[in-house]
Structure 1
Amino acid sequence: MRIVAILASYNEGRFMRACLEHYLQQGIEVYLLDNESTDDTVDIAQEYSNQHVIGIETIPRGGLYQWNKILLRKEVIADQIKADWLMHADPDEIRVAPNSSETLAEAIARVDGEGYNAINFMEYTFLPVHESDDHDHPDFQKTMRWYYPFSPRHPHRLNAWKRQPQRWPGLKSFAREVLRHRRWTAPSVDLHSTGGHLVDFPGIKPYPDDFKLKHYIVLSLGHAIQKYVKKDFAPEEIDNLHGWRATAAAHDFSLPSQNDMRVYTTDDDLDASHPLAEHLLVSRTH
């Protein structure tokens, strides 16, 4: 079974090697959509081009972060890649099977064999804490060990799916694709309508048990400011796609205490009970 993670990146060099090494170990191939990174993101990815990185594509940035544009391209790529399963993912995420006795590829193959065609991931958000505030280094997974489960709704990260056949969408949907998205085909799945959180397609049948997603959203306060405050977001996407990520000022960010977090020991011991619906990184909500 061939499983491909479609990654989108912009200056993700601090995460890229750990991400690619993880997928290599987990039996997952990678297709990278890079949004004109100016750091070593693409250089690192190219090191793995003879192993499991099957393609590197540049999406022009045009001076703005345009997430919807990236998601629309992911939908098209998902139909072009010859894979059995696909996964929408980001470089700052580490995705694993429900149990460490299986690799991610083995677990997805089992889900496929049981007749399911989509997988939700329970998100565990890892953050630096007030007592240990800087993990901006290659060993961040070893040193940044505080997390909380995050799920404002369920499912929240329905991001892996079995490859679907392309169908005639009907005249109305076809016209929408041409007029709104300027493309002449309707992809088999919809990612963009939910900002990439929930894949959708006819006949979707999600697996009942969540897989796991360790999300290292920032490695320090300085990284948070660089990632969110100093990024230029497409104005039309701010309210419906980004919220606080695009509107918070530097002084809005603060690190939680380790007493407000849970301590990571192993993937099998990640605790999904009582998930938060808002992140602890910002002191105001929108």
Structure 2
Amino acid sequence: MRIIALLAIRNEALYLERCLRHLTEQGLESYLIDNDSTDDSLEIARAWLGRGLLGIESRPYPGFYDWRGILERKAELAVELGDHWYIHHDADEIRQSPVPGQSLAEAITAADAAGYDAIDFLEFVFVPTAHTQDACGADYVTALPHAYYFQPNPLHRVNAWRHAGSVDLLSFGGHRAEFPGQRLSPEPLILRHYPFLSWTHLVDKYQRERQYSAYEVEQLGWHGKRASFDAREARLPTSEELIRPDVEGWRTDQPWATHPFLEGG
């Protein structure tokens, strides 16, 4: 059984090496859509061809973050590449089993064997807790140990699926893969999310670099505060507010419904 992570990137050199290595070590393959990256992303990716990375395709950058087009292409790829398991994956994510010693491939294989064809992920957001903390260029998984459990709504991250036909990634903006007759595993897996690695990275990413589609923001209601990011309204949570999952376990008793780095709070 094959499990393929579908990645779309634009200038993700800070994350890409760590992401591709983790996927390969966890027994997965990956396929990359490059959105006209101008940093070292393509060079990093090409080094993984034949070592877990199945292919790289180019997607023109239209001057904004074409999330709708990217999701449509990922849905097409899940048909074109064949009847396998897929994960709608981003470069700033690390996915794993909650069971120590079990690989991600083993966890997904177990769900498949039990008759399920979709899997939810519990999202833990790992962030710096001080303006001076900088994990850029470091092993950010080690450098950023504090996180909050993010659950704005139930089944927030149904991002892994196996379906021979078409899949709907648009209705929930990529947060859920939808298809008829879906059999969702009752055992969610873990998503470690690292949206930014320093305060400067946060401001650069959302205030300077990333431009959003007016149609997606105004007509589809996507992207929320990311599309109107204001550093004056952002804050970094303190370490006392957060948990250390590698020490305390994957605690879900205090879910957060908003991101402090976008909305304060």
Shorter-normalised TM-score: what interval? Answer: over 0.9
1:223 corresponds to which letter in structure 2?
H
Match of 2:256 among 276, 279, 282: 276
2:151 and 2:255 in contact (8 A); partners too? yes
> Is residue 225–residue 263 contact of structure 2 (8 Å, CA) maintained in 1?
no
Q: Give aligned pairs, total.
A: 262
- Asked if 1:213 corresponds to 2:191, the answer is yes
Return the alpha-carbon distance in structure 2 between the equivalents of residues 111 and 81 of structure 1: 21
Identity fraction in percent = 38
In structure 2, how many angstroms separate the alpha carbons of the residues matched to 1:132 and 1:22? 27
Name the amino acid aligned to 2:45. A
Q: Quickly say closer, same or farther: Cα 1:8–1:90, change in 2 above 3 A.
A: same
Q: Does 1:254 align with 2:235?
A: yes
- C-alpha distance in 2 between matches for 1:137 and 1:254: 22
For structure 2, which runs of at least 5 residues remain unmatched after alignment? none
1:39-92 deviations in Å (ceiling 9; x for gaps): 111111110002110011111111111100100111101101135211101010
- 1:7-66 per-residue CA deviation (whole Å, 9 max, x = no partner) reads 111111000011011001100000011111111111111100021100111111111111
CA contact (8 A) 1:32 1:55 kept: yes
Normalising by structure 1, report the TM-score.
0.88
How far apart, CA to CA, are the structure 1 residues paired with 2:224 and 2:138? 29
- 2:164 counterpart residue number: 165
Q: CA deviation at 1:98?
A: 2.5
The correspondence of residues 139-178 of structure 1 with structure 2, limited to 5 A, is 139-162=139-162, 164-166=163-165
Write the mapping of 1:1-286 to structure 2, written as runs, cut at 5 A: 1-130=1-130, 133-162=133-162, 164-166=163-165, 188-230=166-208, 231-239=210-218, 240-265=221-246, 269-284=249-264
Q: CA deviation at 1:139?
A: 1.3
Partner amino acid for 1:282? Answer: L
Give every structure 1 segment of 4 or more consecutive aligned residues whose post-TM-superposition deviation is greater than 3 Å: none
Provide closer, same or farther for how the CA distance between residues 66 and 131 of structure 1 changes in structure 2, counting only shifts above 3 A.
Answer: closer
* Distance of 2:131 and 2:174 partners within structure 1: 33
Gap change, CA 1:14 and 1:131, over 3 Å in 2: closer
Counterpart of 1:208, as a letter, is P
User: Would the aligned equivalents of 1:126 and 1:145 in 2 still touch at CA under 8 Å?
Assistant: yes
User: Hey, what's the Cα distance between the residues in 1 that align with 2:83 and 2:3?
Assistant: 6
After TM superposition, the score normalised by the length of structure 2 is: 0.95
Take 1:84 and 1:232, find their aligned partners in 2: how far apart are those partners? 33
Alpha-carbon RMSD: 1.5
Structure 1: 5+ residue stretches without partners? 167-187
CA deviation after TM superposition for structure 1 residue 131, in Å = 7.0
Structure 2 contact 226–262 (Cα < 8 Å) conserved: no
Equivalent-residue separation in structure 1 for 2:264 and 2:235 (angstroms): 10
Are 1:10 and 1:37, in contact at CA under 8 Å, matched by a contact in 2? yes
Cα distance in 1 for residues equivalent to 2:251 and 2:60: 39
- Structure 2 CA distance, aligned partners of 1:283 and 1:103? 35
Higher Cα radius of gyration: 1
SS in 2 for 1:229: helix
Show CA shifts across 1:187-212 (max 9, x none). Answer: x1000111100000011011011100
Moved more, 255-264 or 46-55: 255-264
Shift of 1:100: 2.1
Q: What SS does the aligned partner of 1:87 have?
A: strand
Whole-angstrom CA distance in 1 between matches of 2:262 and 2:114:
41
C-alpha separation in 2, matches of 1:26 and 1:68: 29
Cα distance, 1:241 vs structure 2: 1.1
**Helix, strand or coil at the partner of 1:236:** helix
